[in-house]
Structure 1
Amino acid sequence: MQTDRNGVIWVVASFIIWGFMPIYWKYLEHVSSDEILTGRIVWAFLSTVLVVLLIRGGGQLIHDFRQLWKNQRSFWSLFAASVLITSNWFIYIWAVNHHFIVQTSLGYYMNPLVSVLLGVLFLKEKMSSAQKAAFVLAAIGVITMVFFYGKFPWIAVGLALSFAVYGFIKKNIQLDPLRGLAIETMFIFPFAVGYYIWLFITGEARFLHVNTQTDVLLVLTGVATALPLLLYAKGVQRIPLYLSGFIQYIAPTLMLIIGVLMYHETFGQQELLSFSFIWAALILFTTSKVYETVKMRRRHV
């Protein structure tokens, strides 16, 4: 029971940090999204490896990598997870710094529903009638947004899909969270270093060319990236998938509040209608999950 409680605390903390992240990225609005992403990968890898070495886990890190290589399925699954989270980071950073915070919140509201859909498609899990109705409501919400805006909400859908699949893969790879994150960022690190070199050669790099505050914020993207991911990876393995999905509502709620109240993004009747369908779907989905859990516990009493 104590382990489960700790898992909840870690996952809640990770989503609170993610919820406030738009404020951090706004301070780097003068830096291009691709450079922020590049710096985020580089510093996340370096900071994670540094922590591993400080706690004398270097030997175990090498051992983990060798074991992963022996299990090619896990190795390439983690590589795929690394690509997915990198894509998620880029979409998110670009969206925040181009005034789409409200749509990013929609994407993370949709994420739990996509996670369940993955379970149905790949784990042959069955959905109840209430959960099927929740998917219909969510679909209506997305269609409503397409109707009003005349274009597909690719930011929201891209964020939901990439993070849901990332979580699905991570759930099935048994690795120490810290060392797993080091290996995960290592996959993309060489590409990031190469791109950073190109930015410096072409004179487009903002790092070391603007001011001290920009440099410090770019370096600290490593900590800002690694800390919530580490908390999430450590916690998600200790709690049921449906519970982590429920906790995920914290981040998009904070994002929505920040986008509307702090940065004055549009949230009128059209947005309210679209979000209402999503919220109704989440309420229906969560209620059905809680009912199923209570019912199962009563059977085992």
Structure 2
Amino acid sequence: MWLSGNSIAILAFLTWGLLPLYFQFIPNANVFEILSIRVVFSIPCIYLLLKIMSLPMERIWTAMQNKRVLLICFLAGIFNLTSLYSFTWAVTNGQVLAASLGYFMNPIFSIALGVLFLKDKLSTFQSIAVALSIAGIGCQVIYYGELPWISIIMGGAFALYGLMKKFVDLDALSIMMIELILILPIALCLIMSDLWQQTSVLYSGDNSKILLYLLSAPVTLIPLVLFSLAVEKISLIMIGFIQYIEPSIQFLLAVMIFGEVLLPVKVASFSLIWLGLLLCIADIIVKKRIGPKILRL
């Protein structure tokens, strides 16, 4: 591909960040139907990409004979669906700020999962960042009297999705194909249920709405594929820097385009989490600059 890894990553997160502009045209959507359509239509798209990139399907069939791989990929698919469901529900129900908060929290969840499951060690900056994020969530808990569940589920599920990929030795597109194949029966059951109960968008008679549902498959798949390609080309450090394009765009859309009310408690919550993310970035910069000097000594 003629684009650089950084360019591909920027395109991925720009697309993700702008998705609320698409979903505003289908408010109060049947989220399960949208996700089911996405699964069904994504399989031929991923198959075509595998062929274009000369990645053998035989490797996928071989991997699927391993029960451990099947379990991990199935869990990854469920976590991805959970995150996508939360995101889609949020942006089709006037909760774009909640979607933005969820993806701002995602790196902190990833750090915590790394400590719990991958034996990663928290640096001082990362420890402070986690504490600030907890404080940010705490602000909303105290004000609203409940946890910002949609944001926590969204960010946590996507972090778990990333964790699952650490345990499978396959390229990103092949893992995506296995995930889709494994959750295809669930998607087909949901589609058949909607058709049986005549609650499917197909019974609405609104051709533009039907088209929006169908196009939601490639619209949500494109950034995920771009992200997977970028991960193979550039370091996770760069991915981490570029990632914050997405929730930043969604935050601005929520306030400036969709007119969501930015209460002081949300300003305080976002500010604490932003500060935590800045500390994580500072930590990365310090390690990159000091590391080579230590080696020279």
* 3-state secondary structure, aligned to 2:94: coil
Render the CA deviation track for 1:84-132: whole Å, top value 9, x for unaligned: 0011111111111121110111110011111111211122111121211
Structure 1, gaps ≥5 residues long: none
Aligned 8 A contact 1:146 1:152 in 2: yes
Shift of 1:210: 3.0
Aligned 8 A contact 2:72 2:167 in 1: no
CA shift in 2, pair 1:200/1:12, >3 Å = same
Q: Take 1:249 and 1:114, find their aligned partners in 2: how far apart are those partners?
A: 15
Match of 2:128 in 1: 133
Aligned 8 A contact 1:15 1:251 in 2: yes
Letter in 2 for 1:250: I
Aligned 8 A contact 1:15 1:250 in 2: yes
1:41 paired residue among 39, 56, 71:
39
Match of 2:83 in 1: 88
CA shift in 2, pair 1:194/1:282, >3 Å = same
Q: Take 1:30 and 1:117, find their aligned partners in 2: how far apart are those partners?
A: 33
1:156 paired residue among 151, 156, 161:
151
Shift of 1:242: 3.7
Instruction: Provide the TM-score with structure 2 as the length reference.
Output: 0.91
Q: Take 1:83 and 1:214, find their aligned partners in 2: how far apart are those partners?
A: 26
CA shift in 2, pair 1:56/1:262, >3 Å = closer
Q: Take 1:23 and 1:229, find their aligned partners in 2: how far apart are those partners?
A: 17
CA shift in 2, pair 1:111/1:75, >3 Å = same
Match of 2:267 in 1: 272
1:260 paired residue among 255, 258, 271:
255
Shift of 1:30: 5.1
Q: Take 1:297 and 1:12, find their aligned partners in 2: how far apart are those partners?
A: 28
Match of 2:181 in 1: 186
Q: Take 1:126 and 1:179, find their aligned partners in 2: how far apart are those partners?
A: 30
CA shift in 2, pair 1:49/1:292, >3 Å = same
Aligned 8 A contact 2:29 2:92 in 1: no
Letter in 1 for 2:139: T
Aligned 8 A contact 2:11 2:223 in 1: yes
1:27 paired residue among 20, 25, 28:
25
Q: Take 1:110 and 1:240, find their aligned partners in 2: how far apart are those partners?
A: 21
Moved more, 101-110 or 290-299: 290-299
* 3-state secondary structure, aligned to 2:205: coil
Q: Take 1:183 and 1:57, find their aligned partners in 2: how far apart are those partners?
A: 17
Aligned 8 A contact 2:36 2:187 in 1: yes
CA shift in 2, pair 1:191/1:280, >3 Å = same
* 3-state secondary structure, aligned to 2:4: helix
Match of 2:101 in 1: 106
Render the CA deviation track for 1:47-93: whole Å, top value 9, x for unaligned: 3234446x4969x22x1222213433233211111110011111111
Structure 2, gaps ≥5 residues long: none
* 3-state secondary structure, aligned to 2:201: coil
Shift of 1:297: 2.9
CA RMSD of aligned residues (A): 2.3
Q: Take 2:203 and 2:171, find their aligned partners in 1: how far apart are those partners?
A: 34
Q: Take 1:104 and 1:269, find their aligned partners in 2: how far apart are those partners?
A: 18
CA shift in 2, pair 1:32/1:118, >3 Å = same
The aligned length equals 296
Render the CA deviation track for 1:240-286: whole Å, top value 9, x for unaligned: 33432332211100111111111111112121111111111111121
Letter in 2 for 1:268: L
* 3-state secondary structure, aligned to 1:132: helix
Letter in 1 for 2:32: D
Letter in 1 for 2:67: Q
Q: Take 1:91 and 1:146, find their aligned partners in 2: how far apart are those partners?
A: 19
Q: Take 2:89 and 2:18, find their aligned partners in 1: how far apart are those partners?
A: 16
Aligned 8 A contact 1:47 1:222 in 2: no
Q: Take 1:185 and 1:207, find their aligned partners in 2: how far apart are those partners?
A: 23
Matches within 5 A, 1:282-301: 282-300=277-295
Shift of 1:155: 0.9
